[in-house]
Each structure stands twice: as C-alpha cells, then as structure tokens.
Structure 1
Amino acid sequence: MDPRIESHAELLVDHCTDIDRGDMVGVNAPAVAEPLEVALYEKIGERGGIPVGLSLPTRAVRAFAEAVDADDFETPAHALAFLEACDVFIGIRGGENVAEMSGMDPEDMQAFAKVNEPLQDAQMNTEWVGTQFPAPGRAQKAEMGTDDYQDFVWSAIDKDWAEQREFQAQMVELLEAGDEVRIVAGDETDIRMRTGDNPVKNDDGRTNLPGGEVFTAPIPDSVDGSVRFDKPVLSQGREIEGASLEFEGGEVVAHDADQHADVLAATLDTDDGARRVGELGIGMNRDIDRFTYNMLFDEKMGDTIHLALGRAYDDTVAPDNEQNRSAIHKDMIVDMSEDSYIEIDGDVVQRNGTFVFEDGFDDEL
C-alpha cells in the first residue's frame, strides 16, 4: 500500500478525530476510495473503535431522486438513526464522475437538500471529518494527470499541522480583536460585514482534511455591498461561472451569473437562509496553489477568501447572536492575489494576498 495512504488514515484517526475503545464510527466512502477505507478500518480497529460503512453512491442517489416525485421526498429515518448512533463520522470523497448530478432539475435537488437537512444536523453532532481520496474523476476535472493529482492531494494533507495552526493563529487574533470586515477586489467586489463576538475558528485539518483556513460567521443582517466570485462553483453537477451577488441588510437583493444563472437562482430559493451569508473564510494553505473544482481544497487555497451562502456552523456563532439556518452551505471564492485588500475596522490586514504579519506586506503599497 502507498505509504501516503497509511499516513492519511493515521491523520484521520489521530489528528482529525480521537477514537477511543468502543466508539461507534460511521464511514462514508465511495468504491474508488477502497484503499483508504481499508487502511482506515485497520487504524480504527487498532484503537478499539467499531466502524460501520454508509454508502451513498451519487449515481444511485440520482436514480432515486429522478424516480420519486419531489413532494414525496422525506427524511430517511433509518439513515438518521444511524448517524445519531455514531460517536465519530468520517466522510471520504472520491467520485468517478464529478458531473453525475448534472441535468437534474435544480428545484428537485433543492427539495432533496431540504429533507436531508436533519442528516446534516446529526452528522454535525458527532466528532466528524471530511476528506478526499485522489480519484481519477477529480484529477480529470482538475486537468491533472492521476499521479500529479495524487501528489497535489497528499502534499496538501500530509503536512506540519502544528506549524500551519501557528501561522493561521495570527489571522485569528486580528479577527477576534475587530468587528467590521471589508473585502475589496477589483472593480466589482466591495462588501462589508460585522462579525461581532462570534468565535473565529483556526482550521488546522481537524474537521476538514486538508485544512488551512480561518473562518467565522458574520452577523446575518450586517452584510452589505456587492461581490463577484471569480472562481466557478460546482452545484448539482453544473458550473456556475461569474456569479455576482448584491446584499442589502444581510440579504441577496440581486444576483446574476455568466453561466447557469438558473442554478444560482434555485440555490438562493432553497429557503430564507440561503439568501444570507453563513460563513466568511480566509484561505491560508499555500500547498493548495491551484484551483481544482473541489471546494474541500479550493476554499483553503492561499490568497483567497470565500463566503458561504446558507448554514452557519454552530461553533462559529456566539450564544446570544443570531445563527443563520439553511439546508445549504454553498461556498463561493474570490481571488485576493492582486488588486485587492482586506480591512478590519479600517486597517488593512491583507494586501494582494500578503498578510500584515508577513514579510513583503509593505512592498505591496
């Protein structure tokens, strides 16, 4: 077995989770990720955990969704019971066809997302982590050879996470000490939001592997301004290109896209919370140095920020603050590598991708 797979499995059970004897561990893995699943089961067994697999093959899910009237969708109680019984949940991505859901009715897909929201809630209540197996389908989408894609994935995953956490902690301190965040990029992005006393999270590869971002939740009604996302976002197997949003009082009041504007519209119509921002994230993993159409990696890419429409994570909202709730959490990326800056309470903390605590920040003036 490739030693990088062994290392990947060890990170999942020792760094991302803390599996103890008797822990019920749910594992969701596609067939193409079997080498990692085998290594993972071995590591879980060595630590006394009890793994059980949950398979949700995309092609089969699509066949079901197309065969059933959207009005008949309901939360699968047996899947919910399974997740509620888990102490730990490990999700492995690795589809052979990343466009499997393409062609489905966007409204049907949003209805499907709504009824499955309780499953997401149950998963969030476990000690959970999501990761990626470098499957050929993802390599093809990234326009990389399979071996090159494997090198890319494992270099982003198998790194010194203590060092990465220390680097990111400097950005955490800046956000924690401030309130109003302004993001400016080019001529089409100028957006402000307040974060108040919401917790700022330092993602060092525990709930997502790879990690490499600092994130928090904005106060829902504080988001104002316009933003153009210059990286495409995959939704329901389609690429939304050039999405732009205008916010007033925290809600999207205008929207457009260069491609698949109908998919963007359907996403925004999922529920009331889908028109508000649930997350502000700042990408800081510079081993992720290219866009690969995989949000698990792309949102952590160095010199980027992302906003997520929809659900705000529980641990990013202070007890007395409003939490944005939705059946979706749709991350969308802005490139901050040039002609851009981030302000906190009027002070520039990043300019053209260089942080104030890095050498070269003053050179960007």
Structure 2
Amino acid sequence: MDERVRRHAEVLVDKCAEVEQGDMVEVSASPVAEELVEAIYERLGEIGARPSLSWQSSRASRAYARAMDEDDYSLLEHRLAAVESTDAYIGIRGSRNIAEMNDVPPENTTAARNANEELQQAFDDLNWVGTQYPAAGNAQKAGMSIEAYEDFVYQAVDRDWDEQREFQAQMVEILDDASEVRIVSGDETDLKMSVDGMIAENDADDANMPGGEAFTAPVPDSVEGTVLFDQPRMWRGEEILDARLEFENGEVVEYTANQNEDALDEILETDDGAKRIGELGIGMNRGIDRFTYNMLFDEKMGDTVHLALGRAYEESVGSDCERNVSSIHVDMITDMSEDSFIEVDGEVVQRNGMFVFEDGFEE
C-alpha cells in the first residue's frame, strides 16, 4: 500500500474525526476508494473503535431519483436513527463517472434535499469529515493522468497541518475582530459586507480534508455590490461560467452568466435563503495550485476567495446574529492573485494573493 494512503487514513481518523476507543464510526465510500477504506479500518482497529461501512453507488442513486415522484420524498427516518447513534462519520468521494447524476430531474434533487434537512443537521452534530480519493473519473475531469492526479491530491492532503493551522490562524484573528470586509478584483468585483458579531473559523484538519481556508459568515442583509465568479462552477453536470451577481440589502437583485445561466437561476430559486450569502471563505492551501472542478479542493486554493449562496454554518454565526437558512450551500470562486485586494475595516490585509502577515506584502 502507498504510504501516502496510510497517512491520509491517519489524519482522517486521528485529527479530523478525532476517533477514540469505543466510538461508533460510520465510513461511507465509493467502491473505487477501497484502498483508503482498508487503511482507515486498520487504523480504527488499532484504536479500538467500532466501524460500520456503507458503499456509495451513483448508478443506484440515479436510478432511484429518476424513478421517484417529486411529491413522494420524505425524511429518511431509519437513516436519521442510525446517524443519531453514531459518534463519527468519514465520507470518501471518488468517481468512475462524475456525470452519472446529470439527467436526474432537478426538482427531485431539490425535493430530496428539502425533505432531509433534519438528517443534514444530525450529520453536522457529529465529528465528521469528507475527503477525496484520487479516482479515475475525478482525474479525467481535472484533465490529468491518474499518476499526476494522485500527486495533486496528496500534495494537498499530506501536509504539516499544525503549521498550516498556525498560518491560517493569522487570518482568522483578523476576521474575528472585523466589522466590515471589502473584496475587490479587477473591474467587475467590488463587494462589501458586515461580519460584525460573526465568528471566524480555521479549517485546517477538521471537517474537510484537505482543509485550507479561513471562513466566516456575513450578516445576511449587509452584502452590497457586485461580484464576478471567474472560476467555473459545476451544478448538476452543467458548467456555469463567469457568473456575475449584484447584491442589494444582502439579496441578489440581478445576475448573469456567460454559460448555463439557467443553472445559476436554478440555484438562486431553490428557496429564499439561496439568494443570500452564507459564507465568506479565503483559500489558503498553497498545496492546491490548480483548478480541478472539485470544490473540496478548489475553494481552498491559495490566492482565491469563495462565497457560498445559501446556508450559513452554525458555528460561524454569533449567538446574537441572524443565520442565513437554506437547503443549499453553493460555493463560488473568485481569483485574487492579480489586480485584487481584501480590505478589513479600511485596511488592506491581502493584495494580489499576498497576506499582510507574509514577507513581501506591499501596501
């Protein structure tokens, strides 16, 4: 077994999910990730945890979703009961065909998501982590050979996470004390938002692996201005290009996209909360140095900012603040490597991808 796979398993079990002896652990994975599942089970055995395994099948999920009637979706109560008896969850992505779900009716996808909001909340209450196995379908979408994609994945995952956390903590401290954030990039993006009372979080080796971002939530009705998301966003197999959104009083009032604007419309029309921003994230993992059509990696890419339409994470919302509620959380990315800056309370804290706490930062 590749030693990088064993190190991947160890960081998932020990650092991300923080599994202890006797914990009930669910592992959910694509069959293509069997090697990583084997390594995880080995580590869980060494600890003395109690695992269960569920295999994911995109073909089965597609068949079910295409056969279902939109009005027949309801909460998966047996699944909820299992999750409520679980201490930790490790989810592993990996695709033979990333387009398998492309022809599922969008109204069914939305109905399933809405019906299982309680289940999603139960997952959020666990020690959980999601990760990526370097599978052939993902490598193909990224335009890379299997070997090159494996190197890319492990470059992002196999890091000194204590050092990465300390690096990100400097941005977290800035955001945690902030009242207003302004994001400017080129001629198309100039967006302001209040983060007063919100909580900044350090995503290093926690719920996502790879980690690599500092994030918070804006006050829902405070977002003003325009933003161009110059990195693609995949939505149900459709590639949204150059999405441009205009905000007033926190809500999207106008929007365009150079490709698949109907997919952007579908996102925004999911529910009322989908027209508002639930997350501001700043990518800080410089082990991720290219766009790969995989948001688990792309949103952490160094020299980027991402904003999520929809649900705000509960942990980033202050106790006296309003939380944006939605059944979706859709991250979209803007490159900040050139002709760009982030301003916090009137002070520039990042310019052209370089942070104020790094050598070489220019005012």
**TM-score between the two structures when normalised by the length of structure 1:** 0.97
Q: Is residue 315 from structure 1 mapped to residue 351 from structure 2 by the alignment?
A: no
Q: Which string of whole-angstrom CA distances, capped at 9 and with x for unpartnered residues, describes residues 268-321 of structure 1?
A: 111111111110000000010000000000000000000011111111011111
Identity %: 58
Contact 1:109 1:236 in 2 (8 A): no
Residue in structure 2 matched with residue 268 of structure 1 by the alignment: 268
Q: Which string of whole-angstrom CA distances, capped at 9 and with x for unpartnered residues, describes residues 187-211 of structure 1?
A: 1111111111211111112111101
Which shows bigger deviation, 55-64 or 277-286? 55-64
Residue in structure 1 matched with residue 206 of structure 2 by the alignment: 206
Instruction: Describe how 1:1-365 pairs up with structure 2 within 5 A.
Output: 1-362=1-362
Structure 1 residues without counterparts, runs of 5 or longer = none
Contact 1:201 1:216 in 2 (8 A): yes
Shift of 1:48: 1.3
- Return the alpha-carbon distance in structure 1 between the equivalents of residues 54 and 198 of structure 2: 34
- Return the alpha-carbon distance in structure 2 between the equivalents of residues 331 and 187 of structure 1: 22
Contact 1:106 1:263 in 2 (8 A): no
Contact 1:92 1:133 in 2 (8 A): yes
- Return the alpha-carbon distance in structure 2 between the equivalents of residues 287 and 103 of structure 1: 34
Amino acid at match of 2:40: L
Q: Which string of whole-angstrom CA distances, capped at 9 and with x for unpartnered residues, describes residues 117-166 of structure 1?
A: 22211110100011110101111111111001001101110111111111
- Return the alpha-carbon distance in structure 2 between the equivalents of residues 129 and 162 of structure 1: 17
Contact 1:30 1:55 in 2 (8 A): yes
Contact 2:93 2:132 in 1 (8 A): yes
Structure 2 residues without counterparts, runs of 5 or longer = none
Shift of 1:358: 1.2
Shift of 1:79: 1.3
- Return the alpha-carbon distance in structure 2 between the equivalents of residues 158 and 303 of structure 1: 20
Amino acid at match of 1:206: D
Contact 2:252 2:276 in 1 (8 A): yes
- Return the alpha-carbon distance in structure 1 between the equivalents of residues 263 and 68 of structure 2: 21
- Return the alpha-carbon distance in structure 2 between the equivalents of residues 91 and 276 of structure 1: 28
Contact 1:141 1:292 in 2 (8 A): yes
Q: Which string of whole-angstrom CA distances, capped at 9 and with x for unpartnered residues, describes residues 215-259 of structure 1?
A: 011111111111110011111122111111111111111122111
- Return the alpha-carbon distance in structure 2 between the equivalents of residues 115 and 165 of structure 1: 36
**TM-score between the two structures when normalised by the length of structure 2:** 0.98
- Return the alpha-carbon distance in structure 2 between the equivalents of residues 115 and 313 of structure 1: 19
- Return the alpha-carbon distance in structure 2 between the equivalents of residues 347 and 107 of structure 1: 44
- Return the alpha-carbon distance in structure 2 between the equivalents of residues 269 and 112 of structure 1: 16
Contact 1:310 1:327 in 2 (8 A): yes
Amino acid at match of 2:89: F
Shift of 1:105: 2.7
Specify the SS of the correspondent of 2:301.
Answer: coil
Indicate the RMSD between aligned Cα atoms, in angstroms: 1.1
Which shows bigger deviation, 50-59 or 328-337? 50-59
Shift of 1:82: 1.4
- Return the alpha-carbon distance in structure 2 between the equivalents of residues 279 and 38 of structure 1: 35
Deviation beyond 6 Å, 4+ runs, structure 1: none
Contact 1:215 1:281 in 2 (8 A): yes
- Return the alpha-carbon distance in structure 2 between the equivalents of residues 284 and 193 of structure 1: 21
- Return the alpha-carbon distance in structure 2 between the equivalents of residues 56 and 78 of structure 1: 17
Specify the SS of the correspondent of 1:174.
Answer: helix
